[in-house]
Structure 1
Amino acid sequence: MSTIEIKELTFGYDAMGDNLFDGASLIIDDTWKLGLIGRNGRGKTTLLRLLMGELPYSGKITHQLSFTYFPQPVKDKTQLTFYVLQDVSTFEQWEIERELNLLQVSPDVLWRPFDSLSGGEQTKVLLALLFVDDVNFPLIDEPTNHLDIVARKQVAEYLQKKKQGFIVVSHDRSFVDEVVDHVLAIEKSQLVLYQGNFSVYEEEKARRDKFEQEENVKLKKEISRLKRTAAEKAEWSRGRERDKYGSPTKKGSGAVADTGFIGARAARTMKRGKTLEHRMTKQISEKEALLKDIDYVESLRMNYQPTHRKLLIKAEQFQLSFDGKPLFSPVSFELYQGQRLAIQGANGSGKSSIINYLMGNFQGEATGTVTMSKQVSISFIRQNYEDNHGLLADFAERNRLSYQDLLYNLRKLGLERSVFDNRIEAMSMGQRKRVEVAKSLLTSAELFIWDEPLNYLDVFNQEQLETLIQKVQPTMLVVEHDAMFLQHIATEIIRLT
């Protein structure tokens, strides 16, 4: 057994201004199956790079481990997969075939060009290579990308059975729930370690957030009271300062003011008042320092416009094919107003093809019947959105969106204000996905068709969308691999076979 010890870790990118980590300290046991989670941009991949010694930092990171990182770089994707893997690491053929069998992938893929494999097959092949090595400690960054629900389950079962520890980054809550026994959350101002899976983390975080929110309310009330008292003391002190110079004799009173005595007394009183004021200011600063920086699931805006139509889509014995080869067995379904129909199936089973057919973009053959209400207004989230370009203000105008509402949704989705002036094509993939999601939410529609909306979105974004959908109850057709998301938002699920 070994440990990774982090002491007073401080790191930030110069362009960002603020530090990602500021005096962070913790100890990680190398036998743990640790899930690393946090909002996009909080530094999950950066922390893995820091562990590997790829970035300069302040503080100490001590361990006796050597690390391997997933996904491994592939130099030449046109080579046979076996030789691609040999370029990365040393192994015996039987070892890699053993791991592939455990991942339920035919070893035949080794003798196909790497770029001919599906995204899911490439992911599994690289995971197999990662665990052929039983010496180095695995750092696994987003292994569920390109995996359908079945493949995610297979990879989860594979990781469950591994005796060695690892650190895994994933936004799929069900996946993390199944494979980890500890969770490390990168929160706004700290690293927080939880013992247990994702469900335990959610329960404990909700409990801690509730307590901290209540403490924040108390602190804010106390700060307001202290500020009022400080203002009163300051005013009182200024009044005593005026007294130093004495008061004019009242006409007809016969009294003569002892201005010297009053001035000395006022000076002492003023000094005492200033001391009280400074003490109050110090107490206010101390109280403000105790206020917690809590992650809130911010509300989003959705431009759902239901009409008189009750039935929007009806399919009867519907089937799509390419070159006479069916993609799936015939399906029948109906989508009524207020329903949310989810389509599930393995990669390549035709989920996106159904969406393309409904949008008028399918190039194959169709049998059976599909009836869709004429002139139904549709808002679409696409898997490929590279044609989004230009500045956000121009993008909003082209898509007939409120620019202010677009910025509002993007900010709530976690896009930094510093990015608002960037061209969309210069943004990261996660930022560009948020633009696509924000556009769909704000497009006036009676039907929302979303094709894998959660790609590149973090756990908080997923919760935001779930909360919004549950509140608005829009009519939707959704293709998504995240089982927990569908469980929370779908009213009906059809499975393609």
Structure 2
Amino acid sequence: MSTIQITHLTFAYPGQANLFTNQNLNFDSSWKLGLTGRNGRGKTTLLNLIRGKLTGQGTITVPLTPLYFPQPVKDAAQEAWVVATEASTGELWEIQRELSLMHTDDDLLYRPYESLSGGEQTKVLLAATFASHTGFPLLDEPTNHLDIRGRDQIAGYLKHVSQGFIVISHDRHFLDAATDHTLTIEKQQLVLTQGNYSAYAHAKQLKDQSEYAEQAKLRHDIDRLKQTAANKRQWSQSREGDKYGNPHQKGSGAVYDTGFIGARSARVMQKAKNLEHRMDKAVTDKESLLKNVEFIDSLTMNYQLDHHETLLWVRNVQLSYGDHPLLSKPVSFELNRGDRLALIGPNGSGKSSLIAAILGQFKGDITGEIQLTETASRSLVRQHYPDNLGTLNAFAEKRQLSYQDLLNNLKKLGMPRTAFKTPIQQLSAGQQKKVELAASLATPTSLYLWDEPLNYLDIFNQEQLTKLIQSVQPTMLVTEHDRDFIEAISTKVVTL
């Protein structure tokens, strides 16, 4: 058991604002630490600072050897055991042991690494990471490419490993199952919480509510000060004007002392200025208020009701390539107006292929019947989108989308304005995914077909989508491995 220490850490990429400013943190290397925060806040950067791949101001003391996942693969054509041993400080038998603890057959080690599914590759590299018990694993989004069963397997495995680790993930259920402490990169600081992600989220909610209440009180005080200052200023100005009126005006009932009035109005004016200074100081004193409250703007979607009751029929459909069926059995379902139907199942069960078949894009053989209402317009979120190219303006024009609607949702999804002029193909993977999603939201449609929309999205983006779908209640067919999202938005579930 040892302590990892971060002292006075400050870091920024050249030409950019600080990601971390004078941060101090100590945590035990035996902790199973979930690392969360909005995309772009520096989660992977922090892992690279801990492992010494980046250098900032301050010091980071790590008494154990950092072990980063996913490791680079030099030659994916090699058998998986070769890739695993090259990526590990442990022996082959130790890698086999870890795969066994993941309830995964080690036969996959003797297949070419490139032939493995994404989930199988993830398990091989994780086994390589944990094969040696002398290092400190840094796991960067191991839930990518894992289906629900695979995520459960890895979460159970991580819960019982003897080593501590840091893991980045946007799957709340996975974090709750696998971690016992949570480190969150908020707007201004690193926040360490004892407990899993749900414990952090509850503590964060209580803190935000307290800060909102304090903010409301501050606004009330400021409004009162402003009104008092305005009243004083108005009185002072009216008294100043009295000096130049007619002191013998009929009905005035007073003899004017202009010197007295001027001095008194000056004093009142000074009081008004003092009140303004007090108001400014009150604002300054509260500058840090709400600094870590995440303001998440609501997304919009251009959903348009179709007059048909049923938009999609799938009856006894089987997909195959030659003599090799893709589905374990023929599938049947209906998608009615207002349904949000979730297709779930392990990787390789045929979810994406079924969506392709619905769209008339499946290259294999189809038996059974698929009927999609011709008048029902459709909007897609795909797993791969190599045709999203060029500037956002040209992309919107080509897709006949509202450029302003596209930009508004991208901004709400957290894409910086500086990226708006960058060609789509030069954006990060996460930003490209947001373009695909924002384009779907901006498309006038009566039917959404979304294939794993949460890939690359942080928890806050996931909550945005959840609230939007719950509010609009569009007709939708969606595949996803995040069970919390599926439970929150679906009205029907079909398991493949």
TM-score, length-scaled by structure 1: 0.91
SS in 2 for 1:290: coil
Distance 1:277 1:432 in 2: 47
Measured after TM superposition, the shift of residue 177 of structure 1 is 1.2
Change (3 A) 1:263 1:490: closer
Residue 183 of structure 1 corresponds to 182
Q: Which residue of 2 aligns with 1:362?
A: 362
Q: Is contact 2:397-2:403 (8 Å) kept? A: yes
CA distance in 2, matches of 1:256, 1:387: 85
Q: Which moved more, 1:368-377 or 1:460-469?
A: 368-377
Cα deviation 1:234-268 (Å, max 9, x = unaligned): 6778889999xx87995799x99998888888887
Higher alpha-carbon deviation: 200-209 or 158-167: 200-209
Q: Contact 1:234 / 1:277 at 8 angstroms: preserved in 2?
A: no
Match of 2:457 in 1: 457
Matched, 1:383 2:383: yes
Unpaired segments ≥5 residues, structure 1: none
Q: Is structure 2 residue 41 aligned with structure 1 residue 42?
A: yes
Change beyond 3 A, Cα 1:403–1:261: closer
Structure-1 residue corresponding to 2:26: 27
Partner of 2:444: 444
For residues 233 and 132 of structure 2, what CA distance do their matches in structure 1 show?
69
Q: Which residue of 2 aligns with 1:407?
A: 407
Q: CA deviation at 1:58?
A: 2.5
Q: Deviations over 1:1-51 (max 9, x none)?
A: 2122223322222333x2212232222121211111111101111111111
CA RMSD in angstroms comes to 2.6
Rounded Cα–Cα distance in structure 2 between residues aligned with 1:417 and 1:132: 43
2:367 alignment partner AA: T
Query: Do the aligned residues in 2 keep the contact of 1:480 with 1:486 (CA within 8 Å)?
Result: yes
Distance change in 2, residues 1:435/1:247 (3 Å):
same
Deviates more, 1:26-35 or 1:134-143: 26-35
1:364 Cα deviation from its structure 2 partner: 0.9
Q: Secondary structure at the match of 1:146?
A: coil
Cross-structure match for 2:99: 100
The 8 Å contact of residues 233 and 269 in structure 2, kept in 1 or not, is answered as no
In the other structure, the counterpart of 2:372 is 372
**Which residue in 1 is equivalent to 2:394?**
394
Distance 1:268 1:472 in 2: 58
Corresponding residue number in structure 2 for 1:153: 152
Instruction: Tell me, yes or no, if the aligned pair for 2:225 and 2:275 is still in contact at 8 Å.
Output: no
> Which residue in the other structure is 1:312 paired with?
311
Q: Distance in 1 between matches of 2:436 and 2:122?
A: 25
Q: Output the amino acid matched with 1:330.
A: P
Partners of 1:110 and 1:252 in 2: CA distance: 105
> Residue 478 of structure 1 aligns with which residue?
478
Contact kept, 8 Å, 2:70 with 2:125, in 1: the verdict is yes
In structure 2, distance between residues paired with 1:92 and 1:150: 27
CA distance in 1, matches of 2:103, 2:226: 65
User: Does the CA contact (< 8 Å) of 2:232 and 2:269 recur in 1?
Assistant: no
In 2: Cα distance, 1:468 partner to 1:143 partner: 27
Question: Does 2:162 match 1:163?
Answer: yes
Per-residue CA deviation, residues 334-355 of structure 1 (Å, 9 max, x unaligned), is 1111111111122111111100
Over 3 Å counting, the alpha-carbon distance change for 1:272 and 1:479 in structure 2 is closer
CA distance in 1, matches of 2:221, 2:56: 38
Kept after mapping to 1: 8 A contact 2:237/2:265: no
* Counterpart residue number, 1:73: 72
SS in structure 1 opposite 2:389? Answer: coil
**Distance verdict in 2 for CA 1:4–1:224, change over 3 Å:** farther
CA spacing shift, 1:395–1:159, aligned 2, 3 Å: same
Deviation string, structure 1 residues 287-345 (Cα, Å, up to 9, x no partner): 34434441133211111111221112222221111121111111111111111111112
Q: SS of the counterpart of 2:183?
A: strand
What is the deviation of 1:371? Answer: 2.2
**Contact 1:240/1:270, CA 8 A, preserved across alignment:** no
Aligned amino acid, residue 158 of structure 2 = L
Q: Which position in structure 2 is the counterpart of 1:126?
A: 125
Any conservation in 1 of the 2:103–2:153 contact (CA below 8 Å)? yes
Gaps spanning 5+ residues in structure 2: where?
A: none
Give the whole-Å Cα distance in 2 for the aligned partners of 1:55 and 1:93.
31
Bigger CA drift: 221-230 or 343-352? 221-230
Distance 1:226 1:23, change over 3 A: farther
User: In structure 1, what is the Cα distance between the partners aligned to 2:266 and 2:324?
Assistant: 97
1:85 Cα offset (Å): 2.5
Amino acid at match of 1:353: S
1:14 is aligned to 2:14: yes
Moved more, 290-299 or 350-359: 290-299
Contact kept in structure 2, 1:96 and 1:128, CA below 8 Å? yes
- Give TM-score, length-normalised by structure 2: 0.92
Tell whether 2:420 aligns with 1:420: yes
- Amino acid of the structure 2 residue aligned with 1:24: Q
109 and 230 in structure 1: CA distance in 2 versus 1, 3 angstrom threshold:
same
Amino acid in structure 2 at the alignment position of 1:433: K
Alignment map for 1:273-352 (pairs within 5 Å):
277-328=276-327, 329-352=329-352
Describe the superposition over 1:402-445 as per-residue Cα deviations: whole angstroms up to 9, x where unpaired.
11111111111111111112111111110110010011111111
* 24-33 or 262-271, larger mean C-alpha shift: 262-271
- Distance change in 2, residues 1:247/1:413 (3 Å): same
What's the CA shift string for 1:124-158, capped at 9, x where partnerless?
A: 00000010010111110000111111111111111
Q: 1:346 to 1:260 in 2, by over 3 A?
A: closer
Secondary structure, aligned partner of 2:15: helix
CA spacing shift, 1:374–1:433, aligned 2, 3 Å: same
- Distance in 2, Cα, partners of 1:170 & 1:444: 32
Describe the SS at the equivalent of 2:103. Answer: coil
Q: Note if contact 2:247-2:256 (Cα within 8 Å) is conserved in structure 1.
A: no
SS state at 1:315 partner: strand
Secondary structure, aligned partner of 2:286: helix
* Secondary structure in 2 matching 1:205: helix
Aligned partners of 2:32 and 2:180 also within 8 Å: yes
| Partner secondary structure for residue 444 of structure 2 | coil
Whole-angstrom distance in 2 between the partners of 1:172 and 1:66 = 27
Equivalent residue number for residue 64 of structure 1: 63
CA–CA distance in structure 2, aligned partners of residues 379 and 273 of structure 1: 58
Determine the C-alpha separation between the residues in 2 that align with 1:177 and 1:331. 33
2:8–2:22 Cα contact (<8 Å) kept: yes
Q: Distance in 2 between matches of 1:216 and 1:180?
A: 33
Partners of 2:232 and 2:268 within 8 A in 1? no
Q: Residues 430 and 257 of structure 1: is their aligned pair in 2 closer, same or farther, counting only changes over 3 Å?
A: same
Give the distance between the partners of 1:234 and 1:197, measured in 2 at CA: 55
